[in-house]
Amino acid sequence: MAGDQIADHSVSAQQYPTTFKLACIVFSLALAVFLYGLDQTIIATAIPKITDDFNALGDVGWYAASYLFTSSAFQLLFGKMFTIFSIKIVYLLSIAIFELGSLICATAPNSGAFIAGRAIAGVGAAGLYSGAVIILSRSAPLETRPRYIGMLGAAVGIASIAGPFLGGAFADRVTWRWCFYINLPLGAITFGTTFWFVHLPQDPKYKAMKWTHLLKQLDIPGVVTLVPAIVCLLLALQWGGTTYSWANARIIALLILFVLLSIAFVVVQRYTPHTCTIPGSIFRSRSIGFTTWFALCTFSVFVVMVYYLPIWFQGIQQVNAFQSGIRTVPLILGFIVFAIISGMLTEVTGYYTPLMIGSSILITIAIGLLSTFKPNTPSSQWIGYQALLGFGVGLGIQCPLVVIQTVLSEQDVPVGTALITLVQNLFGAVFVAIAQAIFQSRLKQNIGAVLPDLDARMLLNGGVTTVISNIPVDTRPTFLRVYSKSVTQVFYLGVALGALSMVGSLGTEWISVKKDKKAETKEETKQIPEETTMEKTP
């Protein structure tokens, strides 16, 4: 039964690269996604030095937001470009744009130029991760891909650890500009390796088209509606609750525009079936629907916990940023180890669904345990609970990419991969904003119930670690208990997301990556007349 649902993968007859070439390709792709992950975290500890140089404290939010906006907004466009143009050329283009943005950041004379560089780097980053997965899908058989996808996940995890440390080290001992100069040689290695070892021809169906027809295939109406929709949502999240209140007319207008433009995008996809960005087959796939939900929940959990665990360590246990980074190593290390193990288990058993179910269970239990943190929680507990969360996230976070490659046709894999990446990035930002709103409301309420004489607004306007200096010495133990409770109540959001991810893991079909070759050959034979018909469709 399951075997009948396996998608046609036309690359089955393809001659895959030799072991040496494949090793070089995997290395270059892992390096590319390492840069992708590094650029998201390395700036965090360097921001104080950057604002000192530019005298632009008010621009801090845009240093991260400009990168997030463009990297999210252009995900699906790159997915479409990977489908209709040469995968190799599009990937080299994404690396080049990322490198250009990094160079502008490294040499920026002022804050405006720096923000522009971050936005340009984000455009290139939109193709780095999804492109790496797509190239892997054409460079290794389906049954062995999970191990390599696990390696890509591990590379992102390593970047998450290395980023804050490298950013702090460069800012303190050399210059913060090296946070971006470092991308240039590493990106050059990735560019050169991809250029020499990746040989993926353009789809013949699109290669025969004229440029005017290819431009129509890019789904310009879809781009014109989707990109502004994403920007409106992210602007609302960036400004809401900080620059403006959530009830402000600007925020409401942005959210309304997001909804209207999103509806317009869906309408465009519905009525342009031959050029749409997201084919109807993706919408109709049960596995894609459930695994997208799973990816949304698990990645959002990871992002929220990566943000709020350091706040707990620095705010409650009063350690500095470096020590806080050290204390979150169990989470990241557990994630890296189990991302690799997950790929191996999928390859051995052939099935990813049980790993997704196990991931949902471990995540929910782990965050439930993390929510019991108190100021005097011993190190054995915060180490063990974080490691358990890392195991859960690592076990399942790469599975959606394997699902995409298993259930979709090879032609739809690029857009499916971009869709998963977009959903993860976009909803990661959404749930961080939700977590911030929960934290602020719970801190106000908890402080008001126990220490009514304290001004909660003063606390929220202070820093994570400096706020304690504004608290009278005799009330600090009580304040720390309340502070800790407010942070751990944010963890309840993670518990809810972990539980909701079970809907996605249980709903995903059990389809093996170990395809039966005879069945596959028959399936391809049956597909030939249909494909010929499609090529004749204007």
Which pLDDT score, from 0 to 100, does residue 46 have?
Answer: 76
DSSP state, 329? Answer: H
Which pLDDT score, from 0 to 100, does residue 8 have?
Answer: 44
Look at residue 175 and tell me if it is in a domain. yes
Whether residues 233 and 123 fall in one domain: no
Q: Residue 356 in contact with residue 203, Cβ under 8 Å?
A: no
Q: Residue 306 in contact with residue 160, Cβ under 8 Å?
A: yes
Look at residue 9 and tell me if it is in a domain. no
User: Is residue 537 classed exposed, middle or buried when 0-12, 13-18 and 19+ CB atoms within 10 A define those classes?
Assistant: exposed
Q: Tell me the Cα Rg of the chain.
A: 24
Which pLDDT score, from 0 to 100, does residue 57 have?
Answer: 60
Look at residue 210 and tell me if it is in a domain. no
Q: Which two tokens stand for residue 34?
A: 């390492």
Positions in the chain whose pLDDT score sits under 50: 1-13, 516-538
Look at residue 11 and tell me if it is in a domain. no
> Quick one: which H or E segment has residue 67?
helix 60-73
Residue 210, Ramachandran bin (φ over 0: left; ψ between -120 and 50: alpha; else beta):
beta
Whether residues 63 and 135 fall in one domain: yes
Whether residues 440 and 466 fall in one domain: yes
Q: Residue 291 in contact with residue 403, Cβ under 8 Å?
A: yes
Which pLDDT score, from 0 to 100, does residue 383 have?
Answer: 93
Cα–Cα dist 228/230, whole Å = 5
Whether residues 307 and 194 fall in one domain: no
Whether residues 499 and 534 fall in one domain: yes
- Cα torsion through 178, 184, 186, 192, rounded to 10: -170
Helix (H, G, I), strand (E, B) or coil at 244: strand
> Rounded to whole angstroms, what are the CA distances from 55 to 109, 119, 171, 175, 179?
12, 20, 16, 16, 19
User: Is residue 1 classed exposed, middle or buried when 0-12, 13-18 and 19+ CB atoms within 10 A define those classes?
Assistant: exposed
Helix 353-370 to helix 286-315 angle, to the nearest 10 degrees?
Answer: 30
Whether residues 484 and 400 fall in one domain: yes
Whether residues 450 and 466 fall in one domain: yes
Helix (H, G, I), strand (E, B) or coil at 209: coil
Question: Last residue of some domain: 166, 198, 230?
Answer: 198
Q: Which two tokens stand for residue 515?
A: 């395809």
Domain containing 521: what range?
A: 277-538
> Quick one: which H or E segment has residue 286?
helix 286-315
Four-residue CA torsion sign, 385, 502, 127, 268 = negative
Whether residues 259 and 343 fall in one domain: no
CATH number, domain at 134? 1.20.1250.20
Per residue in 373-425, pLDDT (tens digit) is 998 889 999 999 999 999 999 999 889 988 988 888 877 888 888 888 888 88
Whether residues 188 and 234 fall in one domain: no
Which pLDDT score, from 0 to 100, does residue 390 have?
Answer: 92
Helix (H, G, I), strand (E, B) or coil at 240: strand
The distance in angstroms from the start CA to the end CA of the chain is 35
Mean pLDDT of the chain: 82
Residue 318, Ramachandran bin (φ over 0: left; ψ between -120 and 50: alpha; else beta):
left
Look at residue 5 and tell me if it is in a domain. no
Cα–Cα dist 252/93, whole Å = 37
Which pLDDT score, from 0 to 100, does residue 517 have?
Answer: 38
Whether residues 309 and 187 fall in one domain: no
Which pLDDT score, from 0 to 100, does residue 120 have?
Answer: 94
Which pLDDT score, from 0 to 100, does residue 61 have?
Answer: 65
Of the candidates 357, 346, 341, the one whose C-alpha atom is nearest the C-alpha of residue 405 is 346
Look at residue 211 and tell me if it is in a domain. no
Whether residues 242 and 383 fall in one domain: no
Q: Give the distance, in angstroms, between the CA of residue 301 and the centroid of all CA atoms in the same chain.
A: 11
User: Is residue 437 classed exposed, middle or buried when 0-12, 13-18 and 19+ CB atoms within 10 A define those classes?
Assistant: middle
Whether residues 234 and 157 fall in one domain: no
Cα–Cα dist 382/388, whole Å = 10
Look at residue 521 and tell me if it is in a domain. yes
Strands (E) across 301-383 are located at none
CA atoms within 13 A on the CB side of 340: 12
Look at residue 205 and tell me if it is in a domain. no
Cα–Cα dist 313/335, whole Å = 19
Cα–Cα dist 379/359, whole Å = 24
Number of independent structural domains in the chain = 3
User: Is residue 185 classed exposed, middle or buried when 0-12, 13-18 and 19+ CB atoms within 10 A define those classes?
Assistant: exposed
Per residue in 235-272, pLDDT (tens digit) is 888 788 767 888 889 999 999 999 999 999 889 888 88
User: Is residue 458 classed exposed, middle or buried when 0-12, 13-18 and 19+ CB atoms within 10 A define those classes?
Assistant: exposed
Contacts of 254 (CB under 8 A, 6+ apart): 232, 233, 235, 236, 239
Which pLDDT score, from 0 to 100, does residue 257 have?
Answer: 94
Cα–Cα dist 508/292, whole Å = 10
Cα–Cα dist 436/455, whole Å = 18
Helix (H, G, I), strand (E, B) or coil at 368: helix
Which pLDDT score, from 0 to 100, does residue 10 have?
Answer: 44
Instruction: Give me the amino acid identity at 370.
Output: L
Q: Residue 392 in contact with residue 362, Cβ under 8 Å?
A: yes
Instruction: Give me the amino acid identity at 275.
Output: T
